[in-house]
Structures are given as structure tokens and as C-alpha cells.
Amino acid sequence: MAFLYMEAVVCFMILMYFFETYLDLRQHAALKLPTLPKTLEGVISQEKFEKSRAYSLDKSHFHFVHEFVTILMDSAILFFGILPWFWKKSGNFLPLVGLNAENEILHTLAFLAGVMIWSQITDLPFSLYSTFVIEARHGFNKQTIWLFFRDLIKGMCLAIVLGPPIVSAIIVIVQKGGPYLAIYLWAFMFVLSLVMMTLYPVLIAPLFNKFTPLPDGELRLKIEKLASSLHFPLKKLFVVDGSTRSSHSNAYMYGFYKNKRIVLYDTLIQQCKNDEEIVAVIAHELGHWKLNHTMYSFIAVQILTFLQFGGYTLVRNSTDLFRSFGFDTQPVLIGLIIFQHTVIPIQHLVSFGLNLVSRSFEFQADAFAKKLGYGSALRAGLVKLQVTELEFSPLFQEENLSAMNTDPWYSAYHYSHPPLVERLAAIDEPDKKED
């Protein structure tokens, strides 16, 4: 008797939903606490805490509904054979427009086009509610309906332009890869990631935002001086108009080798009135670069990608696996989708491990900034960013920002960045040791 792969996958998905919902309930209870953590008493006013708490609870309620609908749809798609049904329907559509249904690449692209349309339709109500109800209610949304749909259309157009050649290349590689398939797939994705990291900030990001050089002044001089002292090869320093969409803030670095760039959101500059706080934030980010965190993370991703492709090559010809999910053929894309579903348990463990490493990196980067003399400024900046509810990445992850009170189990499982309370305690700890 063949193993019931699909049933096992659906059962695990449901079990993980119940487990994560339990953690969400613990976090929701923590969010309802009416008092600040002791570490933040006297640092954040009760009024600002209440505003943050209300925002957090709103997002938490929304999250419960979103996750419930998602697990219902995902389970139904697998359990009721909607995936193989849709694959057959997409193949039947091709002859109607004069295309060859036997061509796997064309069949796959037709399937993906339908999936993209379905995803946009099902995700749209949640995106609209999140942006124009929750974010607007708490004063964070700055974009209009027109801008929202313009970004949506631009994203779909990019998918239409970039998706077909990438998908076609993967299918050809799998069909002709032979015994070295895993190596070929990894090499292709490696080159693609380098190309996208190069093209995205130059060609794609400007389609959505306007990038202008940071004006000459004290802030620019301080950032350039800091970068020079660390031998960081800073070539360009930009400000992006994040305020056109949201009052959340961001900052990031990109570029290879000796061609590095730093981008600051205009909202970050507006909200951190003290230049030292902004420079301290940049010092934290430069700490990631100096301590090779970015390189370690990139190498880890490449190893995991290779292992995933290696696992895929072991099961891609498994007739039982495909039949369990309702397929009587073995298309390349469907094989990749099915494989991703079957290794979900491993992915959860790997994700948890990566979060632990990431949290360690954040503490190290904070310590690096403090060692440079930015401890007080970084502490003030972190508090200000928390209070103003900024979405600061990679310094922050969205889930960390609104939660001043966090459940330790929820935090350990979900957060790739430590909560504010833990970071402030770590920044203060060396001072206590030195006294």
C-alpha cells in the first residue's frame, strides 16, 4: 500500500496551525497586559504605550482571521484535489488559444497565470483591510487607493516579464540535468540571486519609489565618516520617499564588493530628529557587514538551497508521491510544489534554527555599535523607533515592533530579531559590568 503523502501533509499543516494558534493566543494575552515591562518604565509614556497596544491588538485580531481562512483554503486545495484539477484545466485552455497543450513549459505558464490571478483575488480583501482600515486607523497609511492598485499592477507586470524565462529555464534544467541536476539547479539559482540583487535596487525598486542622494550636511558627513572609519566602501547614499505609502520607516544596504550603497527612508530621518540616533542605527547595520553576518547568511541560504534541490532529485520520479496528490503525470513545477509540501516539518525546524542565529547576530551588531561609542544613541533610537511603530528592517522585523509585552514562547518561535526589552537589557549590561 502506497504511503498517503497528501493526507500526511494536510494533517501536519493542521497540527502546525493549532500549535501556532496556541502561540498566537499566548501572545495576544501578553499584548492585553495593561502595564509596561519594567525595563521600559519611565522610558515610554503610558499614552504611547496604549497607542502601541491598541495597534498590536488590532493586528492580532486580524491575524487570527487571516490564518484561519488561509488554512481552510490550503487544506481544501490539497484534500479535494483542486491542484490536479486546475492543472488539467490550464492544459485544456491552451488549445483554445492555439497553443500546444503537450508543451510542458506552456502548460506550466498557463497554470501559474491562473494561480497568480487566484492569489490576487483571495489576498486582495486582506491587503485592502490591512492597509486602509488597520494601518489607516492608527495613522500609518499614507497611500491612496490609486497608488495601492498601481503598485499591485506593477508587481503583476514584473511577474509576467520575469517569471516565464525563469520558470522555463528551471524546467529545461530538470528535463536535461541528469545525475548532476541538483548542482545545475543550485548554480542557476545562485547566478539568478546575484543578478536579482544587482538589478533590483537599480531597475526594479525605482519603479515603486523615488531615490534621491542624501543632501550635503551634518548627517551625510557623519555617516560617511563612520563608513570610512570602518573601511566600508560606501559609494552612494540615498533617501527614498517611503512617506508616500506609510509612516513606517526602513533603511538598508546593498551592493557587491567595493560598490556599496546605503538607503534611508525619509520617514526615518523625520522621526529620528537626532542625527546621532540615525548614525547609531547605521552603525548597527555596518556591524552586520563588519562581522560578516551578511556573508554567513548568504552562505547558509546557498547550502540550504543545494540541500533542497538534492532532496528534490531523490523524489522527483516518485510515481506514488505524485499519485498521492492526484496527479497521473509528473510535471516539473508540480514536483517542486509537492516536494516543498512534504518537507514542511524540516523547514519549520530549519526556520527555528535560523531565527536563533539571527537573534544572536542582532545582539552582536548592537554590541558592535556600542563599542563604537553609539550605545546611548542606539538605545534612544531603538526606543523611538518602537514608540513610533516603525517597520525597520533588517534592524527590525514587523512582528517585533508593536509588541512591547511579548510572550517568551511566541518570541522564541517567531522572532528573528530580539524584542526591544531584551535588546535594551543587552545594551545596558556591559555598562553595569564596567561600573
Catalytic residue, chosen from 58, 104, 276, 285, is 285
Phi first, then psi, for residue 80 (nearest 5°) are -95, 15
| Helix 275-290 / helix 344-369 crossing angle, nearest 10 deg | 120
d(CA 196, CA 296): 19
Nearest alpha carbon to residue 71 among 124, 116, 14 = 14
- CA 88 to each of CA 83, 84, 318, 324: distance values in angstroms, whole numbers, following the listed order: 9, 6, 20, 16
**H or E stretch including 114?**
helix 104-129
Classified as helix, coil or strand, 313 is helix
Write 73-81 long-range contacts (CB < 8 A, 24+): 73/122, 74/13, 75/10, 75/13, 75/14, 78/6, 78/9, 78/10, 78/13, 78/325, 78/341, 79/6, 79/7, 79/10, 81/326
Q: Residues forming the annotated binding site for Zn(2+)?
A: 284, 288, 362
Q: The C-alpha cell of 156 is what? A: 503583476
Active-site annotation holds for 67: no
Active-site annotation holds for 407: no
Burial bucket for residue 387 (CB in 10 Å: 0-12, 13-18, 19+): buried
d(CA 277, CA 369): 11
Catalytic residue, chosen from 58, 135, 276, 366, is 366
Alpha helices in 134-199, H assignment, sequence order: 136-137, 145-176, 181-199
Instruction: Note if the bond before 394 is cis, omega within 30 degrees.
Output: yes
Residue 252 Rama label (left phi>0; alpha psi -120 to 50; beta): beta
Half-sphere exposure of 195 (CA within 13 A, CB side): 8
Classified as helix, coil or strand, 332 is helix
**H or E stretch including 238?**
strand 234-240
Compute the chain's Rg from CA coordinates.
24
Active-site residues, by number, are 285, 366
